[in-house]
Amino acid sequence: AQSVTQLDSHVSVSEGTPVLLRCNYSSSYSPSLFWYVQHPNKGLQLLLKYTSAATLVKGINGFEAEFKKSETSFHLTKPSAHMSDAAEYFCVVSPPYTGRRALTFGSGTRLQVQP
């Protein structure tokens, strides 16, 4: 069984300040982990993925995430927020096997960026 918890439903930052979106996971196996971003009325775009290689994963648009097995966390960070980063972010876990329930989605974190 697997699950994912996004610890904040809303995060508000000022433009130019760091972003931290928190995600904890639970999995019976070594999972693959993903972060997606969704802008209003758009589909989900893959930001980055962890698949048991380097624990620090770099993604698009300056985002990165660190896989910490001891803490079962996969937090998303960005050094300096931009207005265009305002969106909904989803943390997603996938087991290391194929199957119909291949992805489990977190409930999402809405990021607001204040000017």
Partner 1 sequence: SQTIHQWPATLVQPVGSPLSLECTVEGTSNPNLYWYRQAAGRGLQLLFYSVGIGQISSEVPQNLSASRPQDRQFILSSKKLLLSDSGFYLCAWSVRGQGQPQHFGDGTRLSIL
Q: Which residues bind partner 1 (CB under 8 A)?
A: 31-32, 34, 36, 41-46, 49, 51, 90, 92, 94-98, 100-103, 105-108
DSSP characters over 36-60: EEE-TTS-EEEEEEE-SS-SEEE-G
CB of 52 to partner 1, least distance (A): 8
| Between 43 and 115, CB nearer to partner 1 | 43
> Based on the number of CB atoms within 10 Å of its own CB, is 78 exposed (0-12), middle (13-18) or buried (19 or more)?
buried
| Between 15 and 88, CB nearer to partner 1 | 88
Q: What angle do CA 52, 65, 109 make, to 5 degrees?
A: 120
CB of 12 to partner 1, least distance (A): 17
